[in-house]
Amino acid sequence: MDFIAVIAVTLIVAFLFWKILLKGRRERENLPGGSLGYPIIGETFSFLQAQKQDRGPQWLEERTAKHGPVFKTCLMGSPTVVVIGQAGNKFVLGAEDDVLAAKQPTTLSAISGKQNIFELTGSRYRLVKRAMVSFLKPESLQNYIKQMDELIKTMLLRETENKDTINAVVTMKKLTFNIASSILFGIKDENTREVLFDDFSLAFKAVWSLPINLPGTVYWRGLRARARIVDSILPVLKERREELAMGKLSPTSDVFSSLLALRDENQEPVSDDLIMDNYVTLMIASHDTSAILLSLMIWKLSTDSEIYKKVLQEQMDIISRREGAEDRLTWQEIQKMKYTWTVAQELMRMIPPVFGSFRKTLKDTQYGGYDIPKGWQVFWVAYGTHMNKEIFDKPNEFDPSRFENSSKPIPPYAYIPFGGGLHTCIGNEFARVEVLTTIHNLVTMFEWSQVYPEEKITRQPMPYPSMGLPIKIKPRIS
């Protein structure tokens, strides 16, 4: 009882101190309207609950109705200013790094590591970005098409062997994780990939959680999972470093070898910590968001017969036009999947894989007539423009044709599933190729239907079919 009393008194004192601090700040600064909620916790619980129920837009609308398109709150342990709309997107995504840095919430920083590419600035950011982009640009991706196609085909056959029903979400997560592990990082051992997959699943859940490091919490489990990931990868780095030194491995072999070969402005190699942090970050960014889009594509193709027929026709036409004995996808064939990609684009407009993202102010700044103090977070959201009828006609209707040479061009910073400006996702082309290659194999090899046709989408915190999207699947009969 004494312990409980101490906790209660501590919380009360913290709450009173919080109120006094805020009152003083309001007197000194012109902060936007809104509520910072309870100390540390803020409005995190209500925000995450709204996401889980797929009510994120409603959560925003309740606050914008009271305070306008700029309001304050407290999320993931930090005071936050939320900006809604095209101008807000441009303000955040187009800002210089010395004003708004891609500093992430405590949870993401702890799981990814403090030297991940989203946290880096200046010359160190450019150095790491160049190394990563070298494997993600179109010229490099052309070399991976056949390998990716073979890996996807093999995995789909194995996951569906002797089964008439599979969990599509889990299958897509495994598939995209193995693609990233094998192609980007050269991790070929299946046992190693399986262990890493389990730990990354725990680590990702911790990214959007409260930073409470107590046994049993999501955050605590995520930190322990990251530690196990590090223990698994350090021997891989040691082996790759030795192979580079002996000339058995090229700096262009995979992302690990590229990062190991990096030299900073003093011609010193970058640290293992930096390599590890960016490995974790790239794995989280590259496999989960693609798995989301693929799951949504399977879900959409299951529920919309007209869209499905058009996608199937496009993919079958690609096979029918092949000449000779070639039975693997080519870069040229990927470029012909225009309709399939517009379906993916429209899905990302209506159900963006990333609801929004954080930046952190490195100095006092202003936006929309309000002060944003140094150290606060700024949060942008895709919803404010993706569902804006002034930008997209009839935004609640699913219409892939809006991305086909529309007579009404989409303005900058309005369609942002991959971010924008200085912080456009470096893996957007890799994701496009991965998604199109997977859908090609799925629709040409299999037929499927949903086990639960009324299955809804919920954010956990990313948007997934609420029941894991079990599907009845069978080989396609030619």
Which residues define the annotated binding site for heme? 425
Task: Give whole-number Cα distances, 217 to 39, 45, 198, in Å.
Answer: 19, 14, 17
> At 376, is the secondary structure helix, strand, or coil?
coil
Paired tokens of 382: 């895709």
Question: Which neighbouring-strand residues pair with 16?
Answer: none
Annotated binding site: 425
Backbone angles phi, psi at 381, to 5 degrees: -135, 145
Paired tokens of 344: 């993916």
For 94, residues 6+ apart whose C-beta sits below 8 A from its C-beta are: 413, 420, 421, 422
Residues in the chain: 478
Cα distance between residue 344 and residue 238, in whole Å: 39
Question: Which neighbouring-strand residues pair with 74?
Answer: 79
Backbone angles phi, psi at 360, to 5 degrees: -125, 135
Other beta carbons within 10 angstroms of residue 194's beta carbon come to 12
For 358, residues 6+ apart whose C-beta sits below 8 A from its C-beta are: 75, 76, 80, 103, 104, 105, 108, 377, 378, 379
Whole-angstrom Cα Rg for the chain: 23
Cα distance between residue 68 and residue 383, in whole Å: 15
Other beta carbons within 10 angstroms of residue 76's beta carbon come to 24
Question: Which neighbouring-strand residues pair with 269?
Answer: 263
Cis peptide before 353 (omega within 30 of 0): no
Task: Give whole-number Cα distances, 285 to 155, 170, 305, 391, in Å.
Answer: 21, 17, 31, 28
